[in-house]
Every structure is written in structure tokens, then in C-alpha cells.
Amino acid sequence: MKVFLSEEEIPRQWYNLAADLPTPLLPPLGPDGNPVRPEDLSPVFPMNLIEQEVSDKRWIDIPEEVLQLLYQWRPSPLHRAVYLEKALKTPARIYYKNEGVSPAGSHKPNTAVPQAWYNKQFGIERLTTETGAGQWGSALSYACALVGLKCKVFMVRISFEQKPFRKLMMNVWGAECVPSPSTETKTGRDILEHDPDTPGSLGIAISEAVETAVADTTGKTRYSLGSVLNHVLLHQTIIGLEAKKQLAKIGEKKVDVVIGCAGGGSNFAGLSFPFVLDKINGAQIDIIPVEPTSCPTLTRAPFAYDHGDVAKMTPLLPMHSLGHEFVSPPIHAGGLRYHGMAPLVSAAVVEGLLTPKAMNQLKCYESALFWARTEGFIPAPETSHAIAAVIDEAVKAREEGKEKVILFNWSGHGLMDLKGYESYMEGRLTDYPLPEEDLQKSLKSIENLPKPKVAKTGRW
């Protein structure tokens, strides 16, 4: 069972949680420990996106041209998971937004497309970015093809070699994709000189992408990031805003539980932030970001100031962080292996608005398989974390005999991730709960950084 919205019914504004957090967001800090000013970011991002990044306006208009571009796959359908409900014999009603319908197969184009459009408006001709497993790199490649920008993706070398299909998607959309570290940047060359066989890392790839953007002396190149930052989460809120309209359309007045998987935080925020607003205004809703036990940023790491990358090229962000030197175990949910978490999601956790949970890999694959055999659509490994939590909540509702309404974000399909399913079905996978001593060791990298003071400070 599905609910569509017509294009005329699409939300025309994004929702900015920064406007409603009881305690205002803390500013990012520069290397000198002082707040970063918007103009400091201008070599990296175009000014129109920096304005969104620092905005405290509650509603931000979606330009008509961006809506036209989003119509290529949005509004996305809201499904009711009737087959899962039946299989679980739960009285809960389970709804999900199917973000797998986008050309790239995930929620990522929701921000890739506006980012490409704003860059184009600003006169930019080329975007650079990094990608791990390739979800973000392919989404940005698609967006650049759509609006007419060049696109260069630095893909973590081990993924570049192990996941050739994601690279091929980028090529099909006309983007250039090189393994990172590459010989094209100083960062890359330095690393290759010392360690020619390095598998690469997201931290290195970010550094290469930023270096490439900043190095273009014509000023026509910028960098683009697929999660964590405020403007990225802002663009994703169209998911939750659509969901609200769809639920209203079928007469669902009240949502009890909202769930999304959380890596950098963007798909979770996209669905949940409009409901966080309801919660701030007094509604009773459990809002659950779900992360892997192997990378327990929200459930076990402190709220701190930390760098977004290993090479410490980014400003210090106020966020939950396992430490920028954290190396995640090789779980298949590559999108959930980030050491930090979006500042807006972190702040909402600090405010007590969210109830984070962590899930083991095997339970997630078990849930993904159960899902595929009831609801049909094969989920991405990241999405399976949300599904595992949904099943727990549905079983709880059955045990309590409660007719709960559960809403979650089906963030993407797993058609490019079938190797992980194969390993699971053949019994070759394992769990990687993070040992306490590894956590403590990793947290040492943030020990000497400035500490956030959670107080009613001003904005940047």
C-alpha cells in the first residue's frame, strides 16, 4: 500500500532545525580556536550555500528550478509495510519513505541536486568530492550531469577496486572518478611516497577533494559534501515534510515512533527533523537514530569539538565523535562508518530530543533478509539498521498490545551491495562491537581539543 503526492503537493520550503533548538548551535572553530566566519569557507563552498549553512531561518524556500529538478523522482512514495506487519503479527502500522526510487538509488540526490544547482547559479563550473562506498559520489555525478557541471570524485582506493559498479555509475553520468590517494594532489603524492600500497581512507579523499577545489586559480571549482553539514541536512528535510503530507492524506493523525539509520546524519535528519519540531512543541514521539555497534557515535561517544577528517583540514565541529583517528571495522554499511555525527543531530541528542540505538551487523542482515522476503525491495546495508530497529519496535507494540504508528526512512536499495548479502547468507559475516579499550584509545585524539560549552551562546 502506497501514498503518492502529486508534484503540485510537494513541500516548497525546507525546514531548518537550527531555528528551533532550545539551545542555539555552537559555532565551528578554526585552527586558532575562534569561531569560523562564513567568508572563511568561501574558497571551499559557494556563498549561497554558506548562507544556508549559517542560517537561523526556520523555513527556507526551495527555488522553483530546484523543485523542477527534484520532480525527476520526487515526491517519493510513502509505503505502508503491510506484509511485514502481517509477518510480525503486530498491531503497529508501519510506514516508510522509499528513497530508493531516485536515479542513484538513495536519498543522496536530495542534496546533491540542490548543491549542484546553487553552485551553478554562483558561476561554478566544476565540483570535487570524495566518496567511500560510492553512494555519494554517484549521486553528485548524477546531479552534475543534470545541471551541467563537471564532476571529479576521489574514491577511497580499496572501494574503487572492490566496487567497480559504483565507479561505472559515475562514468555513465560523465563524471571522472579516480582512486584516492592519487598522484594529482600534494596530499595524495605525499601519502603514496610513504605508503604506495595504502588502501586509502575517507580522510585522505576529503583532503584531496578540498585541495583540488581550492587549487583551481580560476575560482570556478568548489567542493561538495554529502552529509554532516547543516545545509545538507536542510535539503534532506523534504523527506519528512513529504511524509507528513502523505500521512495526513490517509488520515494518520499521530506518529509514535520515527526511525532512521545514522552515519553522518543526513537521511535520519531528513525524515525526522520535522517531527523533532513537533516534539519540541510538545508531541510525544520516540525519535530513534540507529547506528552500528561497531561505530557507536551517538550511543557511546562524547559530545565534543572534533575535526571532520583524519588530516584535520576541516574546522572543529561540535558533535558526538569517536575521535578523528577512529578506524571503523569493515562492516558492509559503509555509509555508517563515520567517526563523527552532524552537529544538528548531535545537538538534538544533547537536548534529549532523540533516543539513539546501536545494532549489530548480523541482526541487521537478518532483518534485511526478512524485509526482502516480505516487502520485496532489497535494502541497502545502511537501511537495514533502521529496519532492525523497526522490527524491534513492532514486536514491542505487539507485546504491549498497542496500535502504534511507526515511520521510518528506507534510505536506499541494496542492488549494488549484494556481495554483503552473499557473505551473510554463506555465514561469513561477524559482529564487531567496539571494545571499550579501543574506544578510549580512539578518544585520545580529541583530548586536547577545545571543549564545547553547552550554553545559550550566540550564533556565528
Instruction: Tell me which residues in 180-199 interact with a second copy (CB under 8 A).
Output: none
The answer to the question of residue 142 lying near a second copy (CB under 8 A) is: yes
For residue 196, count other CB atoms closer than 10 A to its CB. 8
Distance CA 1, CA 377 (A): 13
Binding of a second copy by 86 (CB under 8 A): no
Exposed/middle/buried for residue 452 (C-beta within 10 Å: 0-12, 13-18, 19+): buried
Site for a second copy in 406-435 (CB under 8 A): 415-416, 418-419, 421-422, 425
Q: Does 174 bind a second copy (CB under 8 A)?
A: yes
Cα(122)–Cα(42) distance, integer angstroms: 11
DSSP string, 233-293: HHHHTHHHHHHHHHHHHTT-----EEEEE-SSSHHHHHHHHHHHHHHHTT---EEEEEEET
Number of residues near a second copy (by CB under 8 A):
40
**Residue 106 DSSP SS3:** strand
Residues 6+ away with beta carbon under 8 Å from 180 = 130, 154, 155, 156, 157, 160, 188, 200, 204, 205, 208
Query: CA neighbours within 13 Å on the CB side: how many for 427?
Result: 0
Nearest to a second copy of 200, 420 (CB atom): 420
Instruction: Return the range that interacts with a second copy (CB under 8 A); candidates 127-135, 309-317, 320-328, 372-380.
Output: 372-380
Check binding of 35 to a second copy (CB under 8 A).
no
- The answer to whether 71 contacts a second copy (rule: CB under 8 A) is yes
Q: CB-wise, 117 or 173, nearer to a second copy?
A: 173
145 near a second copy, rule: CB under 8 A: yes
Closer to a second copy by Cβ: residue 175 or 261: 175
Instruction: Decide: is 378 part of the binding site for a second copy (CB under 8 A).
Output: yes
SS3 354: coil
Binding piece for a second copy, criterion CB under 8 A, among 52-60, 129-137, 338-346, 375-383: 375-383
At 318, phi and psi to the nearest 5?
-80, 105
Confirm if 232 and 111 have CB atoms less than 8 A apart: yes
When asked if residue 370 is in the footprint of a second copy (CB under 8 A), the reply is no
Residue in 7, 161, 193, 438 binding a second copy, rule: CB under 8 A? 7
Which stretches of the chain bind a second copy, using CB under 8 A?
1-2, 4, 6-7, 68, 71-73, 79, 83, 101, 103, 105, 142, 145-146, 164-165, 168-169, 171-174, 369, 372-378, 415-416, 418-419, 421-422, 425
